[in-house]
Amino acid sequence: MPQTSHIAVEVNGVKREADVEPRLLLVHFLRENLGLTGSHIGCDTTSCGACTVLLDDKAMKSCTVLAVQADGRKVMTVEGLGGHGKLDPVQEGFVAEHGLQCGFCTPGMVISAYALLQENPDPTEDDIRTAISGNICRCTGYEKIIESVKHAAKARRRRRT
Amino acid sequence: MEVTFEGEEQDPDVRFVRGTGKYVDDIKLEGMLHLHVVRSPYARARVLSVSGGITGNELKATMESVGEDAGGKSAVSFPALSASYVNYVGQPVAAVLGLDRYDAADKAEEVDVQYEPLRPVIDPEKALASEPIHPGMENNLVAAAELGKEFEVKAPIEIEETLRMTRISPNPMETKGMVAVYDGSNLTVYASTQSPFSWREGLASSLGLKEESVRVVQMDTGGGFGSKGGIYPEYVVAAYAAMKTKRPVKWSETRYENILSTNMGRGVRGKMKVYADREGKLKGLKADILVDVGAYPLGGGGWTARWIASQLVGPYSVPRAYATAKAVLTNKVNMGPYRGAGRPEAAFFMERMMDRLADETGVDAAEVRLRNATSRRTTSPLGMEAPPSKQLFMKALRAFKYSSRKKKENVGLSFFMLIPAAYGGESAKLAVKGGRVKVWMGGSSHGQRHDVFAKSLVSEELGIPQDVIDFQHTDTRSISGGVGSWGSRTAILGGGAIVEASRSLKAAAKKKLGKKYSPARLLEGEYEAEAFFKPKDLLNTLGANMASARLTKEGNAVVDEVVSFYDAGKVLNPFMLESQITGGVAQGIGEIMYEQAIYSEDGQLLTASIADTGVIHATEMPKSVVMTAASRSTLPHGAKGVGESPTIGVPPAATRALEVLLGRRFTTLPIEPEKLWATDVAGVKEVRVR
């Protein structure tokens, strides 16, 4: 049997413990061990961003983080957004503006957009382009994704006031 | 053991933003094993021995059917697992099973393969003179065609040019994958696919099964762009592994594997020669097309060269044309359809020549095109039918505000014909029960949201609200036949089938209910109708693009804006159409600026990560403006194809815009960023372009 390490990670607000191999990637831990299949794997070189999650509130590509590195830390995946059957404003923005087609890059895009708006509630179009430039979408040509983020930014500001 | 879609959120957008889409790699079944494929590290080698895992000595299957190329059988047999010769880096030679992907990758260490490396054939232009890559063949030529008639003509303007479109990786964001389940007599496959029916046919024939005993279910599919229409060796191996072990088997490739082993698009050279008078009117066209089909001519290798040649004339009228077309084998992964599949090559070659013609004659680029467009339906000397084109191009120029923008900006134009893959027709099925209507299509979405137009057509035809309609995943068990989603065909053919099925369902209800018939009554009953729709009329349609280019303050030439003007017939959903086109614009821009597969002399793929392949990011996307000409087709719902239009029209228009900006002639795609740097920001015109 391969050697394992005990980890405890807070995922979407719930403490999850497991014995994992040191080589296990965080994205595989989320998908295989926890069944949180919303985070996708689109590449193996940290290039595409489909696996983006929040690690201690920072957007991070979970394919390049070991599960053991997440020990004692906080992870939020796309499944952690919204709640009580409701969509988060960022998710609502992507639905309203159809900021997706095949949906595969979407969870990563949504998380990157969410992270941007946490830091910068009123981003310019250039800010948005830069914020999602680590996420590849092959279907949309990005325009509707950018509209989705703008939509979300507006909705969030409205909710605050 | 079954994957079901019970209780699934009907709106795919909501499903996807929540992360609750069901893609192949999300499937978890009890006892499921993971398949890892061991691949050739050589572009060409003799396999001296292979041991460990499942090998080609055990599984002697060959690839029989590959979807969009169905019917294009080749003399060269493409083994699922090779035990004799390997012909591209990444070709499967063995497979192992593990409890998870890590375990399976570890098990691959137990496979031992001895190779005798051979000198590979990499350059398609040298392939004809090189030794054949397959034993028993005379040379590397796999297809040759001659179209039109050889001619001689005296013309004051004769222009020759050699143009190239480099191979590119389709790169859908979801890589290829499947889960196979075998119960002792029936094989069920959950697939990331553009065509469950091609899979069924291909897997059944490769594995010697009856089609009735193979069921293929389409999962949410994360893009395809042509690459997921047919089947691949790995699918046959994974299905075999499930049959052998009687346990569910998942195969889900990495991006590296996807780039190595997925059919690539383009890889075509066109030698073009046009003859014209001094006013820019074409008097003749000659062409020689050479297609690099890779190691096995199964992804389209049998037909692509002729197909490209046949449509070179595009929307124009030319009195004489003659084309030769050849396809050659090289030691690379197979060529296959990639969004446009031959159409972009033909348009790029012809449109580059139209721009040359403008430069040589001094006639404006729009005017040259207009002078060669026609007001009547034509059949070109190369055999392709085209609708009247002049009016549409004039409309496009007005919509582009071409005359005024040309004075202020660096603009390029393109004009092209889209030939949808209408052959074979398409199916749809409707079933009414318990107050709800279920809809299936023979080929369905891998990102196009076919559910949107499907629901709206059913609702319109039956007079029922959309919220009682449930769009189903394509499942070969639920509908009796189908083709697949590619070649700008689903809205026209699948849409037509939906209309036909709706009408026959309505007719059945009317017959049963008589005067009591009403949409509400229809919903109270139980009805089923299936239609297979085959159009009779010409569905070829036209489109035009205008692109503008500018220099950034750093001195890089970039495409600033792309305007599309396409005859999409009656637009079924303007929002989805715009979304499709803008996505295609991104692919067109990627293709002219960055995207290419680069091989070393010994056939190693040097662009083996998604970053290396050159797909564009949000920061590189120009503005996209979408406009359509509303001219109904003769189909019951009036639609025309549109999905591939941007990858056909954008490359020539955007290339021209950059050419005008920089004053440099571009003949090979991608242009590559290093050639787009302005040595003199003021602009040194190296060639005369207007």
Distance between B101 CA and the closest CA of chain A, angstroms: 10
For B440-455, the pLDDT digits (tens) are: 999 878 989 999 999 9
Residue B119 has pLDDT above 60, yes or no: yes
Our CA-based measurement puts residue A72 at a distance from the nearest CA of chain B, in whole angstroms, of: 24
DSSP A6: E
Query: B64 or A133, which is more confident?
Result: A133
Q: Is B96 helix (H, G, I), strand (E, B) or coil?
A: strand
**Model confidence pLDDT, tens digit, residues B385-416:** 999 999 999 999 999 999 999 999 999 999 99
Quote the Cα angle for B534-B535-B537, to 5°: 155
A24-52: b (≥16 Cβ within 10 Å) or e: bbbbbbbbbebebbbbbbbbbbbbbbbbb
Question: CA B325, CA B305: separation in Å to the nearest integer?
Answer: 5
Beta bridge partners, B565, equal B544, B627
**Of B168, B191, B448, nearest to A139 (Cα)?**
B448
* Residue B678 predicted with pLDDT over 80: no
Backbone angles phi, psi at A74, to 5 degrees: -115, 125
Interface test with A, best of B9, B10, B17, B617 (most A CBs within 10 A): B17
- Residue B621, chain A, CB below 8 Å: the answer is yes
Burial class of B22 by CB neighbour count within 10 A (0 to 12, 13 to 18, 19+): middle
For residues B412, B648, B219 and B636, what is the CA-based torsion angle, rounded to 10 degrees? Answer: 110
| Cβ within 8 Å, pair A47-B12 | no
Query: Is the separation of the CB atoms in B613 and B260 below 8 Å?
Result: no
Q: Do strands B187-191 and B214-218 pair parallel, antiparallel, or not at all (unpaired)?
A: parallel
B171 inside 8 A of chain A by CB? yes
The reply to whether residue A38 touches residue B255, judged by beta carbons under 8 angstroms, is: no
Q: Where are the domains of chain A?
A: 5-80, 89-160
- Is the Cβ of A42 closer than 8 Å to some Cβ of chain B? yes
Q: Rounded CA gap, B475 and B4, in Å?
A: 11
B391 touches chain A (CB under 8 A): no
The C-alpha torsion from B137 through B139 and B141 to B147, rounded to 10°, is -110
CA proximity to B88, closest of B602, B664, B480 = B602
* Contact state of A40 with B172 under an 8 Å Cβ cutoff: no
Query: Using 50, 70 and 90 to split pLDDT, how confident is the model at B1?
Result: confident
Cα distance between the two ends of chain A: 56
Instruction: Quick: pLDDT tens for B265-276.
Output: 999 999 999 999
Q: What residues have CB less than 8 Å from B63, skipping those under 6 apart?
A: B77, B78, B79, B80, B202, B206, B231, B232, B233, B236, B296, B298
Write the residue in B12, B14, B615 that is nearest to A136 by C-beta: B615
| Chain B residue with the nearest C-alpha to that of A24 | B102
CA angle B47, B48, B53 (to 5 degrees): 70
CB contact under 8 A, A43 and B609: yes
Min distance B336 CA to chain A CA atoms (Å): 18
Q: Are B21 and B15 in contact (CB under 8 A)?
A: yes
SS3 content of chain A, % helix, strand, coil (to 5): 40, 20, 40
> Per-residue pLDDT for B277 more than 50?
yes
Reported as a single tens digit per residue, the pLDDT across B480-494 is 999 999 999 999 999
Q: Do A142 and B586 touch (CB under 8 A)?
A: yes
| B residues 93-122 lying closer than 8 A (beta carbon) to A | 100-102
* Cross-chain Cβ contact A103/B13 below 8 Å: yes
pLDDT at position B554, please? 85
The answer, yes or no, to whether residue B690 has pLDDT greater than 50, is: no
H-run or E-run covering B648: helix B645-662
Q: Which of residues 453-482 of B touch A (CB under 8 A)?
A: none
User: Are A102 and B446 a contacting pair at CB < 8 A?
Assistant: yes
What's the mean pLDDT in B411-439?
96
pTM listed for this prediction:
0.96
Q: Is pLDDT above 90 for B681?
A: no
Chain B 12-41, residues with CB within 8 Å of chain A CB atoms: 12-21, 23, 25-26, 28
Q: Chain B closest CA to A110's CA: distance in Å? A: 7
User: Are A143 and B175 an interchain contact pair (Cβ–Cβ within 8 Å)?
Assistant: no
Q: Does A38 touch chain B (CB under 8 A)?
A: yes
Residues in chain B with CB shorter than 8 Å from the CB of A100 are 13, 16-17
For B171-216, what is the HEC assignment?
CCCCCCEEEEEECCCCEEEEECCCCHHHHHHHHHHHHCCCHHHEEE
**Any A CB within 8 A of B151 CB:** no
- CA-to-CA separations, B146 to B286, B308, B315, B345, B382, in angstroms, rounded: 11, 12, 21, 18, 9
Q: Does pLDDT of B654 surpass 60?
A: yes
- Residue B319 CB partners (closer than 8 Å, separation 6+): B282, B283, B284, B381
Residue of A nearest to B26 (CA): A37
Using pLDDT thresholds of 50, 70 and 90, give the confidence band for residue B424.
confident
Sequence-separated (6 or more) residues with CB below 8 Å from residue B514: none
DSSP character at residue B79: B
Q: Is the pLDDT of residue B74 over 60?
A: no
**Per residue in A10-33, pLDDT tens?**
999 999 999 999 999 999 999 999
- What is the distance between the alpha carbons of residues B257 and B91, in angstroms, rounded to a whole number? 10
Residue contact A103–B12, C-beta within 8 A:
yes
Q: For A91-141, how does the pLDDT look when each residue is reduced to its tens digit (9 = 90+)?
A: 999 999 999 999 999 999 999 999 999 999 999 999 999 999 999 999 999
CB contact under 8 A, A43 and B610: yes
Q: Which of A41, A52, A106, A138 to mutate to test the interface with B (most CBs of B within 10 A)?
A: A138
**Which of B16, B102, B618 is opposite residue A23, by nearest beta carbon?**
B102
Nearest CA in chain A to B580: A140
CA angle A150, A151, A154 (to 5 degrees): 85
Of the candidates B534, B533, B530, B532, the one whose C-alpha atom is nearest the C-alpha of residue B429 is: B530
What count of other Cβ atoms lies within 10 Å of the Cβ of residue A127?
Answer: 15
**pLDDT tier for residue B683 given thresholds of 50, 70 and 90:** very low
The answer to whether the Cα torsion of B68, B316, B593, B673 is positive or negative is: positive
Say if strands B469-471 and B436-441 run parallel, antiparallel, or are unpaired: parallel
Question: Which pLDDT score is estimated for B71?
Answer: 47
Calpha distance B166→B445 (Å, rounded): 28
Nearest residue to B54 via CA among B134, B113, B116, B102: B113
Q: Does B624 touch chain A (CB under 8 A)?
A: yes
Map residue B611 onto helix, strand or coil: helix
Report the run of H or E that residue B116 belongs to, with start and end.
strand B112-117
3-state helix vs strand vs coil in chain B, percent to 5: 30, 25, 45
Q: Choose among A82, A95, A104: nearest Cβ to B174.
A: A104
Q: Would you call B227 an interface residue with chain A, using a CB distance cutoff of 8 Å?
A: no
Q: What is the mean pLDDT of chain B?
A: 94
Report the relative pairing of strands B426-433 and B187-191 from DSSP bridges. Answer: unpaired
Query: How far is A19 from chain B, CA to nearest CA, in Å?
Result: 15
Among A52, A102, A140, A149, the strongest candidate for a mutation testing the B interface, having the largest count of B CBs within 10 A, is A102
B647 at A interface, C-beta within 8 A: no
Does the domain at A5-80 match CATH 3.40.50.2300? Answer given as no
Partner B contacted by A51 (CB < 8 A): no
Q: What is the mean pLDDT of residues A20-48?
A: 97
- Strand segments (E) across B207-306: 214-218, 249-252, 268-276, 282-294
> Is there a contact between A103 and B587 if contact means CB atoms under 8 Å apart?
no
Alpha helix positions (H), A2-142:
26-28, 89-96, 106-119, 125-131
Interface of A with B in 56-115 (CB under 8 A): 77-79, 81-82, 87, 91, 94-95, 98, 100-107, 110
Confirm or reject contact between A50 and chain B (CB < 8 A).
yes
Distance to chain A for B621, nearest Cα, Å: 7
Q: Cβ contact (<8 Å) for A101 and B14?
A: no
Q: Does A43 touch chain B (CB under 8 A)?
A: yes
ipTM topping 0.90: yes
Phi-psi region of B613 (alpha: psi -120 to 50; beta: other; left: phi over 0): alpha
DSSP letter at B640 equals: -
Domains by residue range for chain B, with CATH:
12-118+173-223+228-261 (3.90.1170.50), 341-421+538-676 (3.30.365.10), 426-533 (3.30.365.10)
Contacts of B448 in chain A (CB under 8 A): 101
The shortest C-alpha distance from B270 to chain A (Å) reads 27
Number of CB pairs < 8 Å for A and B? Answer: 175
Q: Does the distance separating the beta carbons of B621 and A38 come in below 8 Å?
A: no
Homologous superfamily of A89-160: [2Fe-2S]-binding domain (1.10.150.120)
Q: Which chain B residue lies closest to A22 (C-alpha atoms)?
A: B102
Return the bridge partners of A76, or none: A54
Instruction: Name the A residues in 132-161 with CB < 8 Å from any B CB.
Output: 132-146
The tokens for B590 are 């990627």
Nearest to A106 by CA among A122, A117, A95: A95
Q: How many CA atoms lie within 13 A of B74 on its CB side?
A: 29
Query: What's the pLDDT at B83?
Result: 95
User: Mutate which of A41, A63, A66, A101 to disrupt the B interface (most B C-beta within 10 Å)?
Assistant: A101
| CA dist A23 → A67, B102, B616 (Å) | 8, 9, 31
Average pLDDT of A33-61? 98
Return the pLDDT at B684.
45
**Which residues between 232 and 291 in chain B have a beta carbon less than 8 angstroms from any beta carbon of chain A?**
254-256
